[in-house]
Chain A
Amino acid sequence: SAVISQKPSRDICQRGTSLTIQCQVDSQVTMMFWYRQQPGQSLTLIATANQGSEATYESGFVIDKFPISRPNLTFSTLTVSNMSPEDSSIYLCSVGQSRTGELFFGEGSRLTVL
């Protein structure tokens, strides 16, 4: 399985600001995804990060709020824009093994918005 590193691991942010989360993988991967996990809840897919093209967003998530970059096959960023307390969540980067369909997760970035 790939080693997935996320930064920051946690942060406390002020309402109205934006924060960019970085995801670095130790090998080239085709499929990278961003998930949100609200406190005590399950995992919800935000978007698929496509290398060289715009991300594909799930229903309820928009690019203006969650812009995503994927400049190469080992790196992606997710920005949470104009944050409100409702954005307080764990944001998880994940990578998929296209051959097996297995999905692996980073340790997550825990955001608290005051």
Chain B
Amino acid sequence: GENVEQHPSTLSVQEGDSAVIKCTYSDSASNYFPWYKQELGKGPQLIIDIRSNVGEKKDQRIAVTLNKTAKHFSLHITETQPEDSAVYFCAASYTDKLIFGTGTRLQVFP
């Protein structure tokens, strides 16, 4: 079955710096890769996604890149702000399901 690895597990950055979170997946048939942000006490919120026919997608300060050959994808957050502090999960499609990574706790210090 599909396996999704996510690194790092924790990430601390200074406000204004960039943050990068990386994921690898195992099933070459995966074609949909969403990213979720989970704030304390809340459900995961979809923040950006990418499909296998695209190499990069950007939405304001966040971007996602996909390397299908290497089977890895990354989340990039630029000009980080304290409100970006949360747990971020990557996921990869597997048949009709999503398999989630283990999560990255991002802390942005003012």
Contact = CB atoms under 8 A, between A and B. Distances in A.
Sorting the interface of chain A by its residue count into under 10, 10 to 19, 20 to 34 or 35 or more gives 20 to 34
Nearest to A105: B43
| Interface of B: prevailing SS | strand
B32 interface: yes
A103 B46 contact: yes
Interface string B92-106: 010011101111000
B43 A92 contact: yes
B14 interface: no
A45 to B, nearest CB: 6
A43 B44 contact: yes
Interface of A: 1, 4, 31, 33, 41-45, 48, 92, 101-108, 110
Interface of B: 32, 34, 36, 41-46, 49, 89, 91, 93, 96-98, 100-103
Given A31-B96, A42-B89, A43-B89, 10 more contacts: A42-B101, A42-B103, A43-B44, A48-B97, A92-B43, A104-B46, A106-B43, A108-B42, A108-B43, A110-B41
